[in-house]
């Protein structure tokens, strides 16, 4: 069957269309995305702005049309942190449904962690042993650990790169100057404080193989010397704590507007990279992880795999 997955994230609205059947590897047939940065379009009252809602309706409508043009058998549409946390989420979701016909399912943070964990487990297989999985999104950080396809512990923290850039770093609007050093230090202290209780729970479960997924971790790994995307899906990629410290050491002094000149850094996320690096380094340090394997599968693939598991194999 041909499945479409519409992921309304904190940074992008991403449509992924795959050809797959029960028990098979889902092969991508089409991918398109619109950068909305919904995590940065939350007003002082906690509500998604009218401009943000307008952009969301337009992006969902375009994605629905694209999925129909590709003859998808099913469209799985979901929203994560930015919509989930908006104080006007019910109104926004109702408007999206009324104007596009698409009903967005809102995933909880724990659901995000569990579905991402499922994708990583399927990618690496049972031989990977007990897994630790980290995922930095635009609005939240997901962590999960366990031995099965369902993690023993799944946590979500409001430590997304977009959210922290907006709320904590105070990056200049034009990206012409890096955040002050004291802002970065304050951010690290804030991240450490939120990680405290979660680190204890993760450590109690334990792991043999620590893994990271998400665009933020892939970008940081690339800056630390991992293979470029052109090397293909199967190239092994890792991010070491030593390499991450070096990356953090130089990007904290580079204006966001200039980060786009670095290989592997996208224009839509360059301004969020420093916050993402601070979260990544803090998590690796607090969990005492020396290196992370980078998994190309994440939440979208987890949603697809869960849907395929529900199909009758006969």
Predicted confidence (pLDDT) per residue in 273-291, tens digit:
999 999 999 999 999 999 9
For 134, phi then psi, to 5°, come to -120, 140
Q: What is the mean pLDDT of residues 10-22?
A: 92
Task: Kindly report, residue by residue over 215-268, the tens digit of the pLDDT.
Answer: 999 999 999 999 999 999 899 999 999 999 999 999 999 998 899 999 999 988
CB 272 within 8 A of CB 165: yes
pLDDT for residue 311: 78
Q: Which are the contacts of 69, defined by CB distance < 8 A and separation ≥ 6? A: none
Distances (CA, A) of 298 to 71, 122, 178, 310: 24, 10, 30, 19
pLDDT at 25: 84
**Could you tell me whether strands 291-294 and 238-240 are parallel, antiparallel, or unpaired per DSSP bridges?**
antiparallel
Residue 244 parent element (H or E): helix 241-251
What's the pLDDT at 197? Answer: 93
How confident is the model over 20-61, as pLDDT tens digits? 887 878 889 999 999 999 988 998 999 999 999 999 999 999
Percent of the chain with pLDDT over 90: 87
Contacts of 266 (CB under 8 A, 6+ apart): 215, 219, 260
Local confidence band at 206 (pLDDT 50, 70, 90 cut-offs): very high
Q: Does residue 310 carry a pLDDT above 90?
A: no
| The residue to which tokens 């990056």 are assigned | 171
Report percent pLDDT > 70 for the chain. 98
3-state secondary structure of 134: strand
In angstroms, the CA 50 to CA 265 distance is 29
CA angle 266, 272, 273 (to 5 degrees): 70
d(CA 214, CA 302): 13
Q: How much is the CA Rg of the chain, to the nearest whole Å? A: 19
Closest CA to 294 of 308, 306, 304, 284: 284
Q: Across all residues in the chain, what is the average pLDDT?
A: 94
Measured CA to CA, the distance from residue 186 to residue 178 in angstroms comes to 15
């Amino acid at each position: 069957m041909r499945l479409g997955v519409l992921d309304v994230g904190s940074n992008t609205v991403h449509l992924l269309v795959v050809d797959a059947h029960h028990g098979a590897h889902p092969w991508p047939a089409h991918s398109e995305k619109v950068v909305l940065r919904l995590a940065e379009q939350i007003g002082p009252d906690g509500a998604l702005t009218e401009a943000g809602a307008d952009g969301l309706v337009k992006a969902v409508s375009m994605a629905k049309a694209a999925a129909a043009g590709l003859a998808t058998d099913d469209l799985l549409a979901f929203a994560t942190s930015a919509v989930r946390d908006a104080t006007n989420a019910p109104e926004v979701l109702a408007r999206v449904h009324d104007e596009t016909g698409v009903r967005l399912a809102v995933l909880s943070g724990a659901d995000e962690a569990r579905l991402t964990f499922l994708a990583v487990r399927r990618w690496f297989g049972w031989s990977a042993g007990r897994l630790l999985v980290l995922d930095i999104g635009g609005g939240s950080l997901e962590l999960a650990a366990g031995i099965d396809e369902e993690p023993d512990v799944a946590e979500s923290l409001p430590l997304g790169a977009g959210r922290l850039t907006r709320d904590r770093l105070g990056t200049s609007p034009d990206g012409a100057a890096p955040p002050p050093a004291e802002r970065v230090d304050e951010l690290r202290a804030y991240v450490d404080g939120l990680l405290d209780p979660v680190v204890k729970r993760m450590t109690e479960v334990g792991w043999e193989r620590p893994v990271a997924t998400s665009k933020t971790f892939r970008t940081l790994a690339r800056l630390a010397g991992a293979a470029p995307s052109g090397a293909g899906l199967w190239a092994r990629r890792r991010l070491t704590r030593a390499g991450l410290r070096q990356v953090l050491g130089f990007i904290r002094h580079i204006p966001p507007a200039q980060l786009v000149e670095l290989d592997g850094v996208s224009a839509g996320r360059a301004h969020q990279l420093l916050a993402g690096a601070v979260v990544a380094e803090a998590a690796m340090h607090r969990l005492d992880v020396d290196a992370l394997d980078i998994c190309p599968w994440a939440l979208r693939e987890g949603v697809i795999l869960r849907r395929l598991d529900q199909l009758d194999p006969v």
